[in-house]
Amino acid sequence: MSADYEAVFARYDTDGDGRLTAHEVTSAIAGMFPAAEVNDLSGIVKALFDQYDVDQDGLLSVTEFVPLAQNLPELGS
C-alpha cells in the first residue's frame, strides 16, 4: 500500500481512529467542491460506502480507502 494513500487517509481520519466514518468522507468530498455546488452528499457517500465498505461495518479502513482513492483521484490528492 502506498505511503501517499496512507497519508491522505490520515488527513481525512480526523479523529485518528484508523477508520473513516461517513461524516469524515462527506467532509473530504465537500472540501473538493465550492460550497455553492454542495447540497446533499448523502447519496454519493452512501454509494461509495456500498461499493468500498467491503466488510460492511459502516466504516472505511485504509485498505478499503485505497481503491476508492485510486478510482477517485481528486480524493487521493
pTM: 0.85
- Between CA 54 and CA 56 the distance in angstroms is 5
Neighbours of 75 (CB within 10 A): 19
**CB-based burial of residue 50 (10 Å sphere; 0-12 exposed, 13-18 middle, 19+ buried)?**
exposed
What confidence score (pLDDT) does residue 71 get? 87
Q: What is the pLDDT of residue 76?
A: 60
Contact 1, 63 (CB under 8 A): yes
At 58 the pLDDT is 97
pLDDT score at 3: 81
Residues of the chain with confidence (pLDDT) below 70: 1, 34-39, 76-77
